[in-house]
Amino acid sequence: MRENSLSRCKGKESHLKESKPLPPDFFSEKTDMDRKLGLVEAFSILPGRIIGSGIFRAPGPIMMLVGCVSMYYGVWILGGIATLLGAFVYAEMAAMIPKSGGPYAFLRAAYSPMWAFLRGWAMFFVSETGAIAAVSMVFAEYLNSIVRILAGAPLSRGVEVAIALVIIWLLTLVNCYGVGLSGRVQNFLSLLKILALGAVIGICLTKGGQAAHFSQPFWPEEFTWGSILAMGAAMRYAFFAFSGWEGATYVAEEVKNPRRNLPLSLIIGIFGIMLIYLAANTAYIYQLPVARIMDPQGSKWVAVEAMEAAVGGLGGILVSLAVMLNTFGSVNAQILVKARSVFAMARDGLFIGYIGKLHPKYKTPNRALMLQAFWATVLLIGAAFAARVYETIIDFFSFTSSIFNVSTFAAVWILRKKYPDVPRSYRAWGYPVTLIIVLAIQIWFMVTTLITAFIPSLCGALLTCTGLVYYYREPLKKWLMRQWS
């Protein structure tokens, strides 16, 4: 009889996490992790995460969808503005909640633990590790482009996949040896990638090129409902190119003076990267006509072809090296920050407890890092032999990510109502207008992504829902036992 009573109590406990209060120090800067990242390191995470494969790989798919210069620039500008406005909102929450996991921590405070858990589950199993796989694959593709130029024949797809896997595991191991080392490596890689992209822009804008490319065609033949859907579909590639801008918030417990440094790094970094992206796209179009950028055979080599048009075969090698530097740094930054989300979930008791432990010497979430590398490997192998690997991975997680993006942005309004007395060293600029604009753009993007990539969106959503089975595993297990008893 006593055992039955204990079982009932344990059954009730499994539901209590829905209403479990936040820890007393949730809004404080108290942490067991090492605060070794200053403003420079927090800032370097942004170009480290954002400038990767997107600015080199996304132009082709975007132009293929919109087909004209005006809508092409519109997609990039709208993506940049939405990202910058979103940063204003995130900056308030990051200054208020300097905890590991970034958006996961914001959702944990604003909503039920179940919704925060689902976001972490989706980001880990669907999008965040998917992005690591996608960008590492771009590194391998551009290495292959050098081989193609020098040897006259490319490597096989299997070799590309093997190279991408080596990059994932090599950088995972580097990040296991302390956040101080990770920060220094990221500073170096971020500087290299900005210099490399700057060199590509400078060469393309000063060597040859034709201004006539900007007007052929500038406007679409006709602007219809299909044009709006096309822009919405193209936005997922622009958002992917800007993705990672919230990266510093994931390592908030390892940033010095986070209430000041996190907002500064977000806003300054995103504005600067938006300008760099517009300059890079201008350089591409100056060298290549719209028809060439849209060519399905060459769309993934836009940056290479632009440099080849500017300075010949040497240009292809130079830009491939630049892309490799950028994607290498991007993979490192993603590995550094994204494991912190699943670590924070496990530490809060919402995921496997084993993952929520820090390394006793290096104070890094090594178990979470290893799990992340394993799942990125699974996703990469699963998608690597699809006809459109890069686009397939992005289509798979864009819809799911947009659902949680909407709820994360909306969290700033909920937190102001729910915790009005918690100190906020920074308040979102232009609130609530900025919040309304960001939500409108994100909802439009979410709907058009569902319409234009229905099957991949559905697959990503279904994989996210599998998290409910894990979250409610104890009540489900007891229900099944009752059915079979």
Residue 289: left (phi > 0), alpha (psi -120 to 50), or beta? Answer: beta
Residue 8 clears pLDDT 60, i.e. is over it: no
CB atoms within 10 A of CB 281: 24
Predicted pLDDT of residue 390:
58
DSSP 19: T
Confidence band for 311, pLDDT divided at 50, 70 and 90? confident
Residue among 405, 392, 399, 404 at smallest CA distance from 461: 399
Amino acid at 206: T
Q: What is the structure's pLDDT at 11?
A: 41
pLDDT of residue 300: 61
Predicted pLDDT of residue 391: 64
Centre a 10 Å sphere on the Cβ of residue 114 and count the other Cβ atoms it contains: 15
Mind listing the pLDDT tens digit for each residue in 267-281?
A: 888 888 899 999 999
Q: Which residues contact 219 (CB under 8 A, 6 or more apart)?
A: 68, 70
Alpha-carbon dihedral 202, 204, 207, 212, rounded to 10 degrees:
-130
d(CA 55, CA 58): 6
Cα end-to-end span (Å), the chain: 18
Domains in the chain: ranges and CATH:
31-484 (1.20.1740.10)
**Residue given tokens 């007395």 in the structure block:** 421
pTM of the model: 0.76
Q: pLDDT, tens digit, for every residue of 412-459?
A: 999 999 999 888 888 888 889 999 998 998 898 888 888 888 888 888
Q: CA–CA separation, 130 vs 240, rounded Å? A: 11
Give ∠ CA 378-383-388 in degrees, rounded to 5. Answer: 160
CA distance 41 to 248: 9
Query: Phi and psi (nearest 5°) for 150?
Result: -80, -40
CA atoms within 13 A on the CB side of 110: 25
Q: How far is Cα 101 from Cα 108, in angstroms, rounded to an integer?
A: 10
List phi, psi (to 5°) of 37.
-100, 120
Neighbours of 371 (CB within 10 A): 21
Greatest mean pLDDT range, 112-121, 145-154, 309-318, 396-405: 112-121
Cis peptide before 432 (omega within 30 of 0): yes
Q: 345-362: per-residue pLDDT in tens?
A: 888 888 888 888 888 887
Residue 404: name the closest of 464, 324, 364, 356 by CA: 464
Per the listing, tokens 């989300």 go with 341
Distances (CA, A) of 360 to 234, 244, 381: 45, 28, 33
Instruction: Please write the tens of the pLDDT for every residue from 407-421.
Output: 999 999 999 999 998
279/450 Cα distance (integer angstroms) = 31
Give the residue with greater pLDDT, 383 vs 380. 380
d(C-alpha 24, C-alpha 64), whole Å: 52
